[in-house]
Amino acid sequence: MNKKPTILVTGGAGYIGSHAALALSDASWPVVVIDNLTTGFREAVPHDVPLLVADIADQPVVETFILDHDVGAIMHFAGSVVVPESIANPLKYYHNNTAKSRSLIESAIRCGIPHFIFSSSAATYGAPAKSPVSEDTPQRPINPYGMSKLMTEIMLADVAATHPLNYCILRYFNVAGADPKARAGQSTIGATHLIKVAVEAALLKRDHVSIFGTDYDTPDGTGVRDYIHVSDLATAHVLALEALIADPATNHVLNCGYGRGFSVLEVLDAVERITNRGIVRRFEKRRAGDPGALVSDNRAILECLPWKPLHADLDEIVAHAVAWERKLGQPGGAFSNVMG
């Protein structure tokens, strides 16, 4: 059998990228990482994985690294991920997510990289009229984060039409949980994502959880999301890579979710159940840029890839998030303070 090519993971020191690097290593793919460590953690990259601390837009440095390591495919995770922040600071998102992706794609073309996997988002759909959402739903983002991802999707499709590169766009729904063996997890300082925030509150790292909006057109009035376990998502990347290599003439656009949704209140109930602790709930107004319900139609990924979700259970997602949070230790404690 041919030797497996090396996979470049951008943002491999971040939450999802570090799980993808683990999944690749577990499946015996050689991995290298580029991360500028603005939100990622050096400790999230295993010691035997080469890490270049650099910006993905630093083309000479990136291209030298790609050629030195004989990279055969790119998984592109690096970027900014907080929807409310994208509304407050849109240019940051068009810079970090759109402009820098353009730069990375150009480096990929210049270096002759044949396969590219891109972390896109359900946020590209905006507030779709119909749920669950299939991949052919019109993409009308309602925040700059979603727009910044959509613009990268468009660039990739245009580039692949004229250069020898195929791509897989994975549109993530709400990613949560942690590696079941607690080798990785979400370490973000000042996190805003619901499960992380709720787990921090249960473990007394915050004094309450704000519930943003109780008047949505959902069963209990709070926002409904399709929470996907980060390890199932990481596995989907490995399978997508194999599909791109097996058929270089085909591109894929796939939703990543389980096809069912939970409300904010259901998530808080699950965190209370798993931790056996109460959470102080504060009911507040809707958060700008939030759709009411966002649930995936996941038939395409189930048909296209041999993907068998292993952790599609909210309590299990929460339990893994809790285990990681306990490992992280004290309030505000950085990854590096607690891993030893």
* Count of C-beta atoms within a 10 Å radius of residue 80: 18
Segment near ligand UFG (CB under 6 A); pick from 245-253, 271-279, 286-294, 301-309: 286-294
Nearest to 32 by CA among 68, 81, 86: 68
Residue number with the shortest CB distance to ligand UFG? 223
- Residue 211 binding ligand UFG, by CB under 6 A: yes
- How far apart are CB 72 and ligand UFG at their closest, in Å? 28
Instruction: Specify the residue, 85 or 106, whose C-beta has the smaller distance to ligand UFG.
Output: 85
Amino acid at 8: L
Our answer to whether residue 93 is catalytic in this structure is no
Under 8 Å between Cβ of 180 and 313: no
* Count of C-beta atoms within a 10 Å radius of residue 26: 14
Find the binder of ligand UFG among 225, 229, 237, 311 (CB under 6 A).
Answer: 225
- Residue 174 binding ligand UFG, by CB under 6 A: yes
User: Running DSSP on this structure, what letter comes out for residue 296?
Assistant: B
Find the binder of ligand UFG among 91, 110, 192, 220 (CB under 6 A).
Answer: 192
Q: How far is CA 235 from the centre of its chain?
A: 12
- Residue 83 binding ligand UFG, by CB under 6 A: yes
- Sequence-distant (≥ 6) Cβ neighbours of residue 24 within 8 angstroms: 7, 9, 31, 75, 237, 238, 241
Catalytic choice (93, 125, 145, 258): 145
Instruction: Specify the residue, 81 or 234, whose C-beta has the smaller distance to ligand UFG.
Output: 81
Q: Which positions from 111 through 140 interact with ligand UFG, judged by CB under 6 A?
A: 121-123
- Rounded Cα distance, 313 and 231, in Å: 12
- Residue 229 binding ligand UFG, by CB under 6 A: no
- Residue 201 binding ligand UFG, by CB under 6 A: no
- How far apart are CB 192 and ligand UFG at their closest, in Å? 5
* Count of C-beta atoms within a 10 Å radius of residue 130: 8
- Residue 210 binding ligand UFG, by CB under 6 A: yes
- Residue 197 binding ligand UFG, by CB under 6 A: yes
- How far apart are CB 133 and ligand UFG at their closest, in Å? 10
- Rounded Cα distance, 221 and 89, in Å: 28
Backbone φ and ψ for 326, nearest 5 degrees, come out as -65, -40
What SS3 state is found at 51?
Answer: strand
- Residue 193 binding ligand UFG, by CB under 6 A: yes
What SS3 state is found at 90?
Answer: helix
Under 8 Å between Cβ of 35 and 78: yes
Q: What is the total count of residues that contact ligand UFG (CB under 6 A)?
A: 21
Segment near ligand UFG (CB under 6 A); pick from 35-43, 88-96, 270-278, 287-295: 287-295
Catalytic residues: 145
Question: Which stretches of the chain bind ligand UFG, using CB under 6 A?
Answer: 81, 83, 121-123, 173-174, 192-194, 197, 209-212, 223, 225, 264, 287, 290, 294
